[in-house]
Chains A and B, each alone.
Chain A
Amino acid sequence: MKTLIVIGNGMVGYKFCEKLVSKKGHENFKIIVFGEEPRPAYDRVHLSEFFENQNAKALEMAPRLWYKENGIELITNTRITDIHRSKKTITSTTEQQYNYDYLVLATGSSPFVPPIKGIEKEGVFVYRTIEDLEGMLAYADKLNKEKPNAKAAVLGGGLLGLEAGKAVMDMGLEPHIVEFAPKLMPRQLDSRSSQVLQLKLESIGLNIHLSKATNQILGNDGHITGMEFGEDDKLDVDMLVISAGIRPRDELGKTCDLEMGVRGGIVVNNKMQTSDKDIYAIGEVALYNQMIYGLVAPGYDMAEVAANQILGKTDILMPDEIDMSTKLKLIGVDVASFGEPFMPASKGHSIIFENKTQHLYKRINVSLDGKSLLGGILVGDATDYNMLHQIYLNGMAIPEDPAQLILPASEGGASFGDVTDLPDEAQVCSCESVTKGQICSVIENGKATDVTGVVSCTKAGTGCGGCKPMVTDLTNATLKALGIEVKEGVCEHFDLSRQDLYKIIQVKGYTKFNEVLDNHGNGGHGCELCKPLIASLMASINADTANKEYAIQDSNDRFLANIQRNGTYSVVPRVPGGEITPDKLIALGQIAKKYDLYTKVTGGVRIDLFGATLRQLPLIWKELISHGFESGHAYGKSLRTVKTCVGSTWCRYGMDESVSFGIELENRYRGIRAPHKIKGGVSGCIRECAEARGKDFGLIAVEGGWNLYLGGNGGATPRHAELFAEQIDNETVIKYLDRYLMFYMRTAKPLQRTAAWQERLEGGLEYLKEVIIEDKLGIVQDLEDEMQTLVNKFECEWTQAVNNPEMMKRFNHFVNSEEEDDNLVFVPMRDQKMPQPWK
């Protein structure tokens, strides 16, 4: 038995182990892995996710148990200090010696910290390990408490620097990016695309400082207070994150005299061997072709080569050319570059599409003969990246007019390049080196029947995740080609789509979840996907309230309130159109005061009372109801608010009574359950103070009636509603809205807002007009009748609940005690209270 020692348990060191133990012959090796960090290897690429959840476990590449099960001895928290090549031993920080037959160096790199005066000050961080992040979080937390507008800068405007910039912004600090070069991402972007990116980043709140050389870090009492660039050129900052490049951790190679690069890195050949044939180097410490590759994909390839070489498969070698294409993640703006992003004019032609108003830039570089794609840059919209990258990697033919590759579809751009056109050897997942052929074959030989199966069989998509959309397309296309219907089922319990279930429940008249499951499901007990969906369908069809079968309702519907961060609830009474009398306002204030509730005006023009315990909910509602309030359905996938402006009632520009009409509409559609929530807006004139075009339905008063807009959305993907009909009267508005909403409720996917539904509707707005106005499908009478039934059957579910002792039983924290949850802790917040922050 030979001993193989791996030094470094980072991403590449781990991948090496994984690859090794999956191959025949590994049984002949005793494997020992040393890692300097306290925990087993984790996914550094997704390090920034740690800010969101502080869940180190979720980043783990594999748990400790995995190493054990695979016969690997993992020794963490231990650095190797020396290699004695003549004796074939190594020494650790604990002064222990170990013999080896083969050694693999996977020590990675460390952030480069430029020698600037004052850089050792407190509040200066690097961004590489979980410990770095914990340090930053603690420091930011302290700053946020001491100072309302603390600022943080990132030194370096490259790929990682921008990611760090987003991270400090998410920590609540004012973010600044300081870059030495005259542009952002100098290694990946040309000047124009860099400018577009800069505009976009500035629009989301990042402050950018270019062409700045930092000569000094200013401080007070040992902690950072600013950065100095020139004599009178300073930036006040309270924290600094350095992201100025990486340096290979090659100190072990140096001290044992392995061949080194002039600027560092341990030299390896295409077998990943260093100048000592028994010592291999992989990942960011290895200098291959005089380059350090700071990405995981080449590191994983190196791991594959080294594992094969050590097991005697000496014909597996590292390719000469390594793809360095990259796509930026996380920052909320798409940026990608592939192949040769900057190309000299002598080598080919560039085609550039730029739209600064939309922060959009696309460039592709095409060979002189116009036949192949050499590289490109995408800023603002990188949806084409996967396809372009594949065309480039596989040298696929491009259309006669290459501009089609990047033009928006409406401007003559064809959706060129279908996944099925790719050659079998096309590498779809570059992190795990999975080809199209491999993906298709696991489906063809029945090993996988859906995307989840493909991912677990091939590991595609488990690295950076960038290829996921492509894996999905490919899986669906392959299934289709095999004649297998791509399942649109809502979850493992139902193969049926929402639309099919809607029809079935309507025709069969089901009123209980178990009836639907037993007659049309796949067995089992249902889950958090199908239960609320079927509850919502039965409500849309039968006008049931959420009290009917409360155990299948989504958790908010179950308790008729929105659950908050500490398990207490919020209370939102309906205030139709936002109109409220002083008496009702006083009642709200008195009730909030009595139960010590945090009070706030919502983004939906009504008042939210937070911090009610389960037991308090019915007590509070009883009082609200006695003052004439009713449920606001803030918890349901149902109508929320119809926001209004004051309109001609008071406003000197008002063309119509927007408040009156808003109230009428809100009262008409209150309580109906839909695939997702629905919001409306009514503005009294085109100044649009009610922001009606940002709502699912919006009305704007104009000369001669209302303009009706449909399918708007705020949220993560804002979209303006589209003009559907002009100058129509109140009655026609209601007729069209009844039909529109009911048609949406019948046909949308689960949790699809009107905007997304309308956008994907074949035929688009024109088709919608044909259905709703011209009655092309002959269904408008049914739609109107169904809606009228729902309107007639409306009942306030809170009134229903507080008047029924059986229903009230639900609102107890314990079944066997009257006590409250003893785990609740509130802290003061300005003049009110809030739940104590999560750790």
Chain B
Amino acid sequence: MENILNTYTTTKLDNVNVWFKAALVSDFPKDGGACVKYKDKQIAVFNFERTQTWYACQNLCPHKLEMVLSRGMIGDQGGIPKVACPMHKKTFSLETGENLNGNLEAIATYPVKIENNIVYIGFSE
């Protein structure tokens, strides 16, 4: 079970080798998130409509290892964009993946780009 966490590692823009075409912009809720399947991975993608910014991270919450983060509520803490897990409201920075209200492992984050109303997520493999 633990090793499922290892399938997710933060990918920086410089290391992107694959831009995965995920779905249309309109498939995602405004100021909310949805889950994208990429190979054996589940990736939560969030649309901050207010600032026209997108974020992606693992769908797996490191707290109880459930695939739920995409269903969490987004917002910000002191300007840091974050997601709150729907299960026990642990919050994570969508920039660094850091757990903002506890000591959980950081979650992996991924770059997102939008081209022609299509959402792409960047992976290294």
Contacts and interface: CB of A to CB of B under 8 A. Distances in A.
A590 to B, nearest CB: 29
Contacts of B81: 525
Contacts of A525: 31, 48, 50-51, 74-76, 81
A566 B86 CA distance: 11
Nearest to A513: B31
A835 to B, nearest CB: 9
A552 B73 CA distance: 7
B75 A528 contact: yes
Contact of B79 (A524, A821, A823, A838): A524
A524 B75 contact: yes
B68 A567 contact: yes
A828 to B, nearest CB: 19
B93 interface: no
Interface string A47-62: 0000000010110100
Interface string A522-535: 00111110111000
Contacts of B76: 524-527
Which of A558, A817, A823 has its CB near the most chain B CB atoms (within 10 A)?
A823
Contacts, number: 113
B75 A527 contact: yes
Contacts of A492: 77-78
A60 B103 contact: yes
A821 B4 CA distance: 14
Contacts of B97: none
Contact of A821 (B22, B28, B42, B104): B42
A717 B12 CA distance: 49
Contacts of B2: 839
A524 B82 CA distance: 11
A809 interface: yes
* Central interface residue in B66, B71, B76, by most chain A CB within 10 Å: B66
Interface in B75-105: 75-79, 81-82, 84, 86-87, 89, 91, 102-104
A816 B75 CA distance: 24
Contacts of B37: 814, 816-817, 819
A814 B32 contact: no
Contacts of B107: none
A839 B2 CA distance: 9
B51 to A, nearest CB: 7
A538 B76 CA distance: 22
Size bracket, chain B contacts: 35 or more
Contacts of B79: 524
A180 interface: no
Interface in B28-47: 28-32, 34-37, 40, 42, 45
Given A551-B30, A566-B66, A823-B42, A526 B36 contact: no
A554 interface: yes
Contacts of B36: 814-816
A464 B82 CA distance: 30
A677 B66 CA distance: 27
A416 interface: no
A759 to B, nearest CB: 26
A527 B1 contact: no
A545 to B, nearest CB: 16
Given A563-B68, A815-B22, A815-B23, A552 B31 contact: yes
A371 B44 CA distance: 65
Interface string A328-347: 00000000000000000000
A815 B2 CA distance: 26
From A559, A809, A816, name the one whose CB has the most chain B CB atoms within 10 angstroms. A816
B31 A814 contact: no
B72 interface: yes
B84 A527 contact: yes
Contacts of A58: 102-103
A528 B91 contact: yes
A114 B32 CA distance: 59
B1 A839 contact: yes
B4 A559 contact: no
Interface string A401-443: 0000000000000000000000000000000000000000000
A751 to B, nearest CB: 13
A839 B60 CA distance: 15
A720 B46 CA distance: 45
B73 A531 contact: yes
A555 B87 CA distance: 8
Contacts of B18: none
B82 to A, nearest CB: 7
A839 B65 contact: yes
Interface in A543-589: 550-552, 554-556, 558-559, 563, 565-567
A60 B50 CA distance: 38
A576 B48 CA distance: 40
Contacts of A816: 22-23, 27, 36-37
A816 B89 CA distance: 26
Given A525-B75, A531-B73, A815-B34, A567 B82 contact: no
Nearest to B103: A57
A201 B44 CA distance: 46
Residue from the set B2, B34, B40 with the largest chain A CB neighbour count within 10 Å: B34
A809 B30 CA distance: 13
Contacts of A555: 71-73, 86
A813 interface: yes
Contacts of A526: 75-76
A492 B91 CA distance: 15
Contacts of B78: 492
Nearest to B78: A492
Contacts of B29: 550-551, 810
B91 A567 contact: no
Q: For B48, B64, B75, which residue has the most chain A Cβ atoms within 10 angstroms?
A: B75
A138 to B, nearest CB: 16
A528 B103 contact: no
A358 interface: no
A809 B68 contact: no
Interface string B2-22: 101000000000000000001
Interface in A801-839: 809-810, 812-817, 819, 821-823, 838-839
Interface of A: 55, 57-58, 60, 63, 492-493, 513-514, 524-528, 530-532, 550-552, 554-556, 558-559, 563, 565-567, 809-810, 812-817, 819, 821-823, 838-839
10 contacts: A492-B78, A513-B31, A514-B31, A524-B75, A550-B29, A554-B73, A567-B71, A814-B36, A816-B22, A839-B2
Interface of B: 1-2, 4, 22-23, 27-32, 34-37, 40, 42, 45, 48, 50-51, 60, 64-68, 71-79, 81-82, 84, 86-87, 89, 91, 102-104
Given A492-B78, A814-B36, 14 more contacts: A55-B104, A57-B103, A514-B31, A525-B75, A525-B81, A550-B32, A555-B73, A563-B71, A810-B29, A815-B22, A815-B27, A823-B60, A823-B67, A839-B2
Closest CB pairs A-B (n = 4): A555-B86, A551-B32, A527-B75, A528-B84
